[in-house]
Amino acid sequence: MSVQRLPLPHHLIEAARAFADGDAEPAEPRDAATVVLMRPGAGEPDLYLLRRQTSMAFAGGMCVFPGGGVDPRDDDPAVAWAGPSPTEWAERLGTDEDKARALVCAAVRETFEESGVLLAGPSASTVVEDTSGDDWEADRVALESRELHFSDFLVRRGLVLRTDLLGAWSGWLTPIFEPRRYRTWFFVAAMPQGQVTRHVGTEASSVRWVPAAEAVRRVEAQEIGMLPPTWLTCLEISGFEHPDSVLAAAADRRVEMFMPEVVEDADGHLLSTPPAYFELLREREGS
């Protein structure tokens, strides 16, 4: 099966040219975090995907991982912290300590808001087992509406943020020609034992667990839509047998932010791909 490399629409090509010529000013990117939530599957991880409402201004109708923009209140030193320190996370994520703390908190918060899964526990070595009760749902809704601060939520429940359950994976900056831009750090995490995902939140029309390779196949068959970073992440993770092996690979990763640019080749105008994915794509094209 060959990789589908669809040329960019004409209006995006013209928009990219306007920015390249200095005729347009790019939008300021917003910092964001997204989490590739995994569970063991049949020889590869299953991934938790949300299909965004078609009415959404950004990536409407696309399948995405749980995630969203950083809230200024995510950067709170009062949060009880387990795992790598904010200083260590800053090195992994390629940023400063304050932003690293905010990104990790945003990753955990957004995962809870959009899947009901909480990477936190009563101690540095435990994780909450069930977050499906009415009291948890009330807190999730309050967090989603920003009526409740994430740090206050953790403190009130006596919970420790389990940052050791996260791994740093990649970084993507929305191209300059997009009207809404995000500087997004991708994290990976395994589904905690005892917890369950559920369709929550207001931004998704549906949710599903899909084997990583199956998600890639569905995109290629145009059965579902994905932005390139999501598709490439699914493709890369399909090469691992288990979530534990993904997390082991993440332990040595250092994120370098990549912004796709418009390039031209025999297939037309396309978006550039990080060098790390070239071999994966060549193997896919030759399969």
Spatial distance between the Cα atoms of 106 and 70, rounded to a whole number of angstroms: 6
Q: Determine, yes or no, domain membership for 2.
A: no
Q: What is the pLDDT along the chain (287 residues), one digit of tens a residue?
A: 334 444 555 556 666 666 666 666 888 999 999 999 999 999 999 999 998 765 554 555 789 999 999 998 898 888 999 999 999 999 999 999 999 999 999 999 999 999 999 999 999 999 999 898 999 999 999 999 999 999 999 999 999 999 999 999 999 999 888 888 999 999 999 999 999 998 776 666 678 999 999 999 998 888 988 888 999 999 999 999 999 999 999 999 999 999 887 777 666 667 778 887 777 777 766 55
Q: What is the pLDDT, as a whole number, of residue 200?
A: 75
Q: Is residue 209 part of a domain?
A: yes
* Domain span at 188: 10-286
- On whether residue 4 sits in a domain, the answer given is no
Structure tokens at 235: 């493709």
Q: How many domains does one find in the chain?
A: 1
User: What is the CATH classification number for the domain harbouring 41?
Assistant: 3.90.79.10
- Angle 56-59-61 (CA atoms, 0-180°, nearest 5)? 70
Which phi and psi (to 5°) does residue 69 adopt? Answer: -70, 150
Tokens of 38: 């995994």
Give the predicted TM-score (pTM) of the model.
Answer: 0.89
| Domain assignment present for 236 | yes
Report yes or no on 3 lying in a domain. Answer: no
Q: What pLDDT score was predicted for residue 286?
A: 59
Is 246 domain-assigned? yes
Instruction: Write out pLDDT tens, residues 29-70.
Output: 999 999 999 999 999 999 999 987 655 545 557 899 999 999
Looking at the domain assignment, is residue 119 inside a domain?
A: yes
The answer to whether residue 263 is domain-embedded is: yes
